[in-house]
Structure 1
């Protein structure tokens, strides 16, 4: 284990000391000080199934609307990274709105191709997209979030809840009244604004929120635009409540990805081949309601319709060569066949012919020795979903014992249309990929959609599909004694996934798949007194392979992992077993409130699905591996007094493979000649920092002026593709953010802040690339196969907030 730098330790101690100097100043807004405040946690996707935290046999973290407001960010990920123990971010795409979230070694990401291990819900509606289980954080309306909960060890959250579930409880006119608007500007052309309005009149309420942002990005070609809208019209009567919800969002993101290390050393803003853009749009209409049906019994439910669309453009280098004279297409343009080995009968003419490049009509192209070939790879995903949930809750005694009973079910149906194509082009000196004009006009076939004759590597896809997810669950928390509570439950998941080739040329893509699993849950909590309780629990959870994974699992037919699909062997579903135990408490200390927790966790997964790289640039495939383990400890405390509050969290996350085997990693400099690496049981999974420390707080200096800050430290992590742990990991890093606000008038507040105060240079993501191909494109020899995404340098922001 590497030691935390002495400078960081000094900074942590200084921060704590400064916060402790203001014990007698007025309280910050939203600071909880009353010990009588009881934290309740939802235990199902639908609101209404709540239990006190000291009766929950699992860990849970909640963030309030104030936590998001203090971050002054356009992404909900920033507040989560600052406050949630065991949670880290990695910027695989070079855009703060498109980051991967890792929690306890599991990932939820907007990037198709990532193995998704966390479920996400908004007011009971599942946000994991049907095609790849992705979650598009850029579309989440941050200003409208009332509370976020990240809970673990609970199968009631359905598919993908291997590492836990994130639930977003949104604001409405009953929970928020008034008008608020905020306008910010900052470094790199950042401009963002938000506004919200809440109103209640008797039994009726209305809530409206909107936000928009533009950021040019600190790297080249990394500009972002995002717009979001959220509305809730509510009615509340005696024993009943109803909400009609509408939401819409769209974004345009420069997702420039990692850059070769030797390019970064010359220019930190450099990008390797572009354009790389993602455009998202979504719309949702939902009806949520609840009604009391008898004393102690209530029914909650929702119905929804939702649309999601995504268009991705990715300029890539290529693996093209002159066709062999021993093929039928000597002198034509071919895909390199080295990645496909030598078949038993040798490289026959028929084998070589598979790799010739053609257009959709079958025309071949002469090879141009002077061209630097590239491709513009495009994907388009269009998903329309409808569904609903129904839930019964009751808190009537059972055998004179306190009891909380929940039973429910859900149906989610989605229609999917997916298109993926590659267009032939050239790579220009500025590393842009173009398909017409300039050098592209000198290249035969430029501007045409291409494929290989054997549909290997390059194969356009026009796919349609449906997914039907069914869930039924029951859970019960019984108070065996005034101090001891028992929780037990079951959830049945059924996933039907069907896919059909729309292009008519790939009938092998047609498939029908069904996955089912029954997941149990059991746990105990015991209240020791004085606000202290202990807990322990066990559960199972599962996730079904996504349509993308199902159609890209053949190493001999690798896919562009945002693009082409091919038929392949079926994948098995992932099944995880989680064990948790811990102790937590709430106490009054020195006229303040202390919340603290220490928890242990272990999740053993069978048949985890990994995305592995191919020797063909930018391509890969999926495979099951026998078993993995994610285990560790979370420890945290929050202390609040009338004038200040401080939090400190530490997490140890040990994510490892539990098998001996061979995996493909052809760009890894330590790989064998056949492009494989040998993984041994106990090897750390890449991309997951083992150690995390998070410190932050807020201080009211005067009645009008307040300051706050947050420090985050992340330990080393292995680069993606180094599953055997043969190379040096990424260097540990830490950053510090500061913020301040000044209330100039009762309804006008100036705000400002500095992110990455000490301008720390670090990488949160790294992987490997093909050095020889990049050397040819750049016209100079590269020797380091590492390609990294650097964190943003020091940035500033300032603005004004108006409330009525």
Structure 2
């Protein structure tokens, strides 16, 4: 595909030095000046291709309105559309996992489209029980959901991703930016022109097709993209379906640019989580209990724009309104049995072995003969002895979340001298609101021979109130006023001052009773200060800084904070004690630079960086198991935690090949002594029973965080038509969730390799293929404990180990076809294309 020269610069502006332009003319090298500009604030940095008539024809200027990365006192990483589509078919999650050393994947759900991404030990997860420590923005608008601050990665249209900016803690990004902020910018008709159709097929029954089209007509830009994907999954009972659409309409004027875009998705995802290690030894594709299905429907409209009031003052902003609908169904074994007082009925068991009747919606006790149970004793007599008190039974936990999101951000950028010194000052304000209707219930049925849920599915409550339907309405209003100021004290030294005042109001109204009612208010000012120094201008820069950030407890957390009334792992809410907000204090420092190589060596550019970070969280909030229960937990403040480490990377880019290596060490520890329930942990005070506790001491590592990670990749242009590449990830094991005292085995170290290739069989047709986990490594990215003594496993009747892991996918091969159609030729350009960088 031939791409407009302005679009080419836009697509590679954040890559150093030389890049391979895969146009109709073959793999020719295009050498460009390095433009390393990022937004550094919630509103995405605009990148405008401005056309201006001149006497000699049409002159196009790429205007980049952001700040030079070398002036920022935080570590930053930038990925482009090329990184997202590195192996042929686009994936944002894969690009983050493969390219950034301090990012790891906890695939607790066991679904490739529902990962928990961990950055520096902080999570950005679709799971409501995860402490969300990364602020995520899409096209400059907050993407963390209102109800639980979760991040639904499956809603991002991967083929439309233009660039991804990731940086350390920055108070300007508001709530959740404890560990850092991730900003995703999507394409538009000015930065991408042409048409692409991308079809994929391969292992696990996966088939997908994605398309994108960008067009510019005078000062109008149009872009539309979409993806449809389906797969059966490599594990049993694990199909997934993705349907995504994105469209953007842009208008350019002499002084500004404005956009209206819409994002939509309707996805059905199945991830059946962890499985006991003894079951995995028999069959890694098997699941422990099922179903575990999530259905996400999403629609968001957004207006955004930037306007140059004067040559040195611009106003930028956006406003959005969105709808998010989520339905979950999670099948689990039920810790219930026939009542001792009358075995015709079913009871739950509470503390001290007390039993409580289960009742249906009419208030009548649930009769055992209404439930279809299976005779496990006929399979193996061990099961008959184990379940001689009735059952086994199963719960189907169902939730319904309906959220309306809306908000706006406006900021002013002033680039005028301060006391005669070059200066960039940004002042902005934001508001994000959400109105949520949440409902949940437990339906009881039988447990099938392969540990699935069997109807009829009677919605139940227990006499002790632990098991009960939930209906609650919540509203959250988040406001913030922020500033950032960058002053060049000398030609080499830049001072950065940052700050943001955050306000949060959260209201809960119980729709059944009054137990969940509550009004909560949080506010805090977070400062930041840092500096950069150009030791060798353009080649070696040192940076360092201190920042503070906070996050308010979410409606989900506030509604599940009572240890005497815990909620299930699918976010049932049954109590409302107050929680303190989390405050993070971060110190980081490092160096970065670039070294051009002479043409007689490789003729490329070596970019590198290395840094140290340390973040201490006070009043950290974790989702911890409740005492005397199985499968239920609650949110609580656990004192202080710390995440510190080092990051280092090298990237080498030449006209014909490029390579990178990224390393990260993350030491995530508890800093306060705390007593936590540890059901299933064999080292708890009750020897692994559900009622046991453990005493966590300062220095114990946080579960779910890999201390060491190394990522390596290379691409080589064998001929103008043929490209090959390889990727490798190495990681050390993580302690299991539920083992905060670190006495059990970790998930284990692993190394995973992948290979990719592409061949252009015609100027506009490319074939590609890639292999993941090429050497079929048996590894796990997440672990916890499962109640094997409560759930019969036919294939392992004498299972005793309750260690449970989320297995990584086996070797898989995929292939695809890309068809590229060039856009209409632009008006003649006879002058060189200049680059204008603001800030």
1:449 partner SS: strand
Among candidates 349, 353, 358, match of residue 336 of structure 1 = 349
Deviation at 1:483, TM superposition (A): 0.4
Among candidates 458, 465, 474, match of residue 455 of structure 1 = 465
> Is residue 126 from structure 1 mapped to residue 135 from structure 2 by the alignment?
no
Q: What is aligned with 2:588?
A: 580
> Is residue 45 from structure 1 mapped to residue 45 from structure 2 by the alignment?
no
For 1:712 and 1:676, locate their aligned partners in 2 and report how far apart those are by CA, in whole Å: 36
Q: What is aligned with 1:152?
A: 168
Deviation at 1:361, TM superposition (A): 2.0
Q: Which stretch shows the higher mean deviation, 140-149 or 777-786?
A: 777-786
Among candidates 559, 571, 594, match of residue 551 of structure 1 = 559
Maintained 8 Å contact 1:173/1:207: yes
Q: What is aligned with 1:345?
A: none
Deviation at 1:330, TM superposition (A): 7.4
2:112 partner SS: coil
Among candidates 270, 280, 294, match of residue 278 of structure 1 = 294
Maintained 8 Å contact 2:275/2:806: yes
Among candidates 581, 603, 618, match of residue 606 of structure 1 = 618
Deviation at 1:622, TM superposition (A): 1.1
Task: Note the residue ranges of structure 2 that are not aligned, 5 or more in a row.
Answer: 1-17, 46-64, 370-388, 822-839
For 1:309 and 1:47, locate their aligned partners in 2 and report how far apart those are by CA, in whole Å: 26
> Is residue 719 from structure 1 mapped to residue 719 from structure 2 by the alignment?
no
Deviation at 1:744, TM superposition (A): 0.6
For 1:321 and 1:508, locate their aligned partners in 2 and report how far apart those are by CA, in whole Å: 28
Q: What is aligned with 2:834?
A: none
Among candidates 521, 535, 540, match of residue 528 of structure 1 = 535
Maintained 8 Å contact 1:45/1:123: no
For 1:652 and 1:65, locate their aligned partners in 2 and report how far apart those are by CA, in whole Å: 27
Deviation at 1:704, TM superposition (A): 0.6
Deviation at 1:367, TM superposition (A): 4.4
Q: What is aligned with 1:187?
A: 203
Q: 1:788 to 1:632 in 2, by over 3 A?
A: same
Q: What is aligned with 2:332?
A: 316
1:699 partner SS: strand
Q: 1:419 to 1:45 in 2, by over 3 A?
A: same
1:772 partner SS: coil
Deviation at 1:416, TM superposition (A): 0.1
1:67 partner SS: helix
Deviation at 1:74, TM superposition (A): 5.7
1:508 partner SS: coil
Please give the per-residue CA displacement for 1:170-190, whole angstroms capped at 9, x wherever unaligned.
100000001111101101111
Among candidates 408, 419, 444, match of residue 439 of structure 2 = 419
Q: What is aligned with 1:201?
A: 217
> Is residue 513 from structure 1 mapped to residue 520 from structure 2 by the alignment?
yes
Deviation at 1:331, TM superposition (A): 5.7
Q: What is aligned with 2:33?
A: 36
For 1:759 and 1:266, locate their aligned partners in 2 and report how far apart those are by CA, in whole Å: 16
Among candidates 788, 795, 800, match of residue 783 of structure 1 = 800
Q: What is aligned with 1:67?
A: 83
Deviation at 1:492, TM superposition (A): 0.7
Among candidates 113, 135, 139, match of residue 129 of structure 2 = 113
Deviation at 1:618, TM superposition (A): 2.0
Among candidates 701, 704, 707, match of residue 690 of structure 1 = 707
Q: Which stretch shows the higher mean deviation, 571-580 or 422-431?
A: 422-431
For 1:243 and 1:646, locate their aligned partners in 2 and report how far apart those are by CA, in whole Å: 36
> Is residue 650 from structure 1 mapped to residue 656 from structure 2 by the alignment?
no
> Is residue 294 from structure 1 mapped to residue 291 from structure 2 by the alignment?
no
Q: What is aligned with 1:381?
A: 401
Deviation at 1:795, TM superposition (A): 0.5
Q: Which stretch shows the higher mean deviation, 782-791 or 370-379?
A: 370-379
Please give the per-residue CA displacement for 1:368-392, whole angstroms capped at 9, x wherever unaligned.
6553211111001010111111100
Maintained 8 Å contact 1:766/1:786: yes
Please, what TM-score do these two structures have when normalized by structure 2?
0.88
Maintained 8 Å contact 1:686/1:722: yes
For 1:766 and 1:53, locate their aligned partners in 2 and report how far apart those are by CA, in whole Å: 37
1:704-715 pair list within 5 angstroms: 704-715=721-732
Deviation at 1:360, TM superposition (A): 2.2
> Is residue 398 from structure 1 mapped to residue 449 from structure 2 by the alignment?
no
Q: Size of the alignment, in residue pairs?
A: 752
For 1:31 and 1:427, locate their aligned partners in 2 and report how far apart those are by CA, in whole Å: 61
Q: Which stretch shows the higher mean deviation, 691-700 or 609-618?
A: 609-618
Please, what TM-score do these two structures have when normalized by structure 1?
0.91
Deviation at 1:781, TM superposition (A): 2.5
Maintained 8 Å contact 2:84/2:91: no
Q: What is aligned with 2:503?
A: 494
For 2:604 and 2:589, locate their aligned partners in 1 and report how far apart those are by CA, in whole Å: 27
Deviation at 1:451, TM superposition (A): 0.5
Q: 1:763 to 1:127 in 2, by over 3 A?
A: same
Q: What is aligned with 1:561?
A: 569
Among candidates 84, 87, 103, match of residue 103 of structure 2 = 87
Please give the per-residue CA displacement for 1:426-454, whole angstroms capped at 9, x wherever unaligned.
01112221213xxxxxxxxxx32101122
Deviation at 1:418, TM superposition (A): 0.5
> Is residue 214 from structure 1 mapped to residue 216 from structure 2 by the alignment?
no
Among candidates 236, 257, 264, match of residue 280 of structure 2 = 264
For 2:364 and 2:817, locate their aligned partners in 1 and report how far apart those are by CA, in whole Å: 60
Maintained 8 Å contact 1:358/1:365: yes
Maintained 8 Å contact 1:509/1:551: yes
Maintained 8 Å contact 1:74/1:213: no
Deviation at 1:642, TM superposition (A): 1.1
Please give the per-residue CA displacement for 1:76-131, whole angstroms capped at 9, x wherever unaligned.
11111110120000110110000100010000100111110001101111110011
1:771 partner SS: coil
Deviation at 1:359, TM superposition (A): 1.2
Deviation at 1:250, TM superposition (A): 1.3
1:460-479 pair list within 5 angstroms: 460-479=469-488
Q: Which stretch shows the higher mean deviation, 295-304 or 576-585?
A: 295-304
Q: Which stretch shows the higher mean deviation, 364-373 or 165-174?
A: 364-373
Deviation at 1:661, TM superposition (A): 2.2
Maintained 8 Å contact 2:788/2:799: yes
Maintained 8 Å contact 1:315/1:433: yes
Q: 1:778 to 1:367 in 2, by over 3 A?
A: farther
1:406 partner SS: strand
For 1:40 and 1:776, locate their aligned partners in 2 and report how far apart those are by CA, in whole Å: 55
Deviation at 1:616, TM superposition (A): 2.9
Deviation at 1:366, TM superposition (A): 3.5
2:165 partner SS: strand
Q: What is aligned with 1:798?
A: 815
For 2:766 and 2:166, locate their aligned partners in 1 and report how far apart those are by CA, in whole Å: 31
Q: What is aligned with 2:427?
A: 407
Q: 1:37 to 1:542 in 2, by over 3 A?
A: same
1:240-259 pair list within 5 angstroms: 240-259=256-275
| Runs of 4+ residues over 6 Å off in structure 1 | 30-33, 776-779
Please give the per-residue CA displacement for 1:303-332, whole angstroms capped at 9, x wherever unaligned.
11111111000111011133344xxx7763
Deviation at 1:240, TM superposition (A): 1.1
For 1:763 and 1:625, locate their aligned partners in 2 and report how far apart those are by CA, in whole Å: 27
Task: Note the residue ranges of structure 1 that are not aligned, 5 or more in a row.
Answer: 1-24, 343-351, 437-446
Deviation at 1:253, TM superposition (A): 0.8
Deviation at 1:137, TM superposition (A): 0.4
Deviation at 1:771, TM superposition (A): 2.7
For 1:359 and 1:488, locate their aligned partners in 2 and report how far apart those are by CA, in whole Å: 59
1:143 partner SS: helix
